[in-house]
Structure 1
Amino acid sequence: MSSGTTPPIELKKSQRYCRQLATSHYENFLVASILLPRRMRQPFYNIYAFCRTADDVADESADDRTALAGLDRLQHQIDRLFAGQPPADSQAPTNSQTPTEGLFPALADTVATYRLDKRPFDDLLSAFRQDQQIKLYESTPQLIDYCSRSANPVGRLVLQLADSLDPTTAALSDEICTGLQLANFWQDISRDHAIGRIYMPADVRERFGVSVSMLAEPSTPPALRELLAFLCDQAENYFHRGLPLVDHVPAWLRSDIKLFAHGGLATLDAIRAIDFDVLRVRPKVGKIKQGLLVGRALFGKL
């Protein structure tokens, strides 16, 4: 531990907490796959546990005020961590959510071991706070700015774990991470609309003649399908621009980066496979497809 003190929850217990949280989620095959060397899995779990927890606080709290209070508690813990202080005992939320202080001893250990920067954590929390305040995006640059804080910091943390962060790798990683965030948005248009969020920027909605009222339809109108085809092609270009990242990282990380990118591309293909009717059914990458991606990555076929 960077603070030189004994955490209130012992490190092994905290590591177990992070590992269980990371391995219990659907998208785990993208964020901590079996392709990682065993020595690197726990650090990935520890970072993922923070990202997952913050995301859940932002999306699953009872209301915006509760979410902001929860995110403030996480910010307080991050501030303490980087100041070399132990997790605060008061971290546990006052509502019914699961206490989150259990992840911080393990995260602190990873931060100290790999000398991680504080800014990616601050940026992530900034984006999650923005979700409570901005419900509709007016322009594509505004959306991309959000992605630069909601997704790109994760890739930069991964590069730091691999001791591979520099201007070139950061830019390539940002392309992949933004692509992943956009693919997630277009997959979850119906879910986001149900909680009052519209990530499709007004500038492109107006270009394709898509109104906000269309998002309440039981099936996706033709204009919205055309817009989604455009947005999916746009997101695909992010992945293709970012994939050269594999030539700039250690061998142990290359297959996992390919799996990240091809998992995102598979999500876009799933949207296309239902003819962009995302309001009728949520497209997703099935377990068989996931397994095929992992198998191809294992044998260097991605």
Structure 2
Amino acid sequence: MAVDNHYENFPVASWLIPRGKRPAVAALYRFARGADDLADEGDASPADRQSHLDDVLFGLDCIFSQVPTNNKIASYAKYFKDKEDLGVSSAPFKALVSAFRQDVEKTRYQDRAELLDYADRSANPVGRVMLAIFGVKSATAHRASDAICTALQLINFWQDASVDIEKGRIYVPQSEFAKHCVDAIDFPSHPKHRELMRAQYEHAETMLWSGCSLLRELNGRFRIEIAFTIAGGARILEKIEANDYDVTKRPTLRWYDSARLTWLALKALRMSKTAAIPPKLI
């Protein structure tokens, strides 16, 4: 359920998404992708990026107050204001913008709690809106969705570590560097960096599979879609492991991964039968 860079596994065009749900999924994707690009793409100054994101927030306030706005990105959220039966407020969209604003300025994280707080705003709102689109509202579903979405966000960080380093951004928490006796200045050339990354891998892997209980609360093609979303994250983790946790090598999914993805999706479906409800992350 994670959405290129942050959103490359987003199921916007998947045939598994019923046709009647696709406009809502597309609106969510376009909002998230558009706002993320304001924070991360191009050569705008940090001040200009923050100003553009402020405009998105103002546009959201207008839309959910039924006031016209010409902000293109905010206008994608209008779908959810018009479809009030979905029960989606401005909160998840504002949470996403809050995370993107943080990305403009923040390049280091002190500990996992701080990183999980970021993921709670950058990834989890997407999963919760997706559940609303499909009429899934239980607290247990939200907790399992949060586990999957946060895990996918972490996996994306470890997948893209080499790209982020070039941008001066390191998502591995400073406390983890200290725990593994790795100097962040030497990352990723430090001889112990693979041991450090293995710990991040294992943390994300445990969290990802802990979300399988969500599949018990879904049905139809959406259930299969989410099983394959879990499988996509699991397959990236397998490739990170195959690279011996070397962050200078960026793993990607290829067409020939299809059979393995199917096996992993079936594994997720099997695990869902007995998986415990994951604890709250923050």
Match of 1:153 among 125, 138, 145: 125
TM-score, L = length of structure 1: 0.79
**How big is each residue's C-alpha offset from its partner over 1:213-256, in whole Å with a ceiling of 9 and x where there is no partner?**
22364xxx431111111111110111111011011123332111
Give yes or no for the alignment of 1:108 onto 2:78. yes
Unpaired runs of 5+ residues, structure 2, are 271-282
Counterpart for residue 91 of structure 2: 119
In 2, distance between residues paired with 1:233 and 1:295? 20
The alignment covers a number of residue pairs equal to 263
Alpha-carbon distance change, 233 to 296 in structure 1, aligned in 2, over 3 angstroms: closer
Match runs of 1:1-302 below 5 Å? 27-28=8-9, 30-62=11-43, 63-88=45-70, 91=71, 101=72, 105=75, 107-113=77-83, 114-215=86-187, 217=189, 221-279=190-248, 281-290=249-258, 293=261
Q: Deviations over 1:151-188 (max 9, x none)?
A: 10000000110111221111110000000000001111
1:4-59 Cα deviation digits (max 9, x unpaired) = xxxxxxxxxxxxxxxxxx99x98256454221111112211110111111111111
Shift of 1:109: 2.3
Q: Which amino acid letter does the alignment assign opposite residue 66 of structure 2?
A: G
Give the gaps of 5 or more residues in structure 1.
Answer: 1-21, 92-100
- For residues 204 and 76 of structure 2, the distance between their equivalents in structure 1, rounded to whole angstroms, comes to 34
Change (3 A) 1:124 1:104: closer
Comparing 77-86 with 178-187, which one deviates more in the overlay? 77-86
Inter-CA distance 107–229: structure 2 relative to 1 (3 Å threshold): same
Compared CA separation, residues 28 and 242, structure 1 to 2 (3 A): closer
Q: What percentage of residue pairs aligned between the two structures are identical?
A: 35
For 1:154, give the aligned amino acid. Answer: V
- Could you tell me how far 1:110 is from its partner in structure 2? 3.7
Give the superposition deviation at 1:291.
Answer: 7.4
Tell whether the 8 Å contact from 1:267 to 1:283 is kept in structure 2 after alignment: yes
Please say if residues 39 and 100 of structure 2, whose CA atoms lie closer than 8 Å, have aligned partners that are also in contact.
Answer: yes
CA separation of 1:296/1:274 partners in 2, compared to 1, >3 Å: closer, same or farther? closer
Report if aligned partners of 2:57, 2:74 keep a CA contact under 8 Å in 1: no
- 1:222 is paired with a residue of what secondary structure? coil
Q: Residues 238 and 297 of structure 1: is their aligned pair in 2 closer, same or farther, counting only changes over 3 Å?
A: closer
Q: Equivalents in 1 of 2:163, 2:205: separation in Å?
A: 22
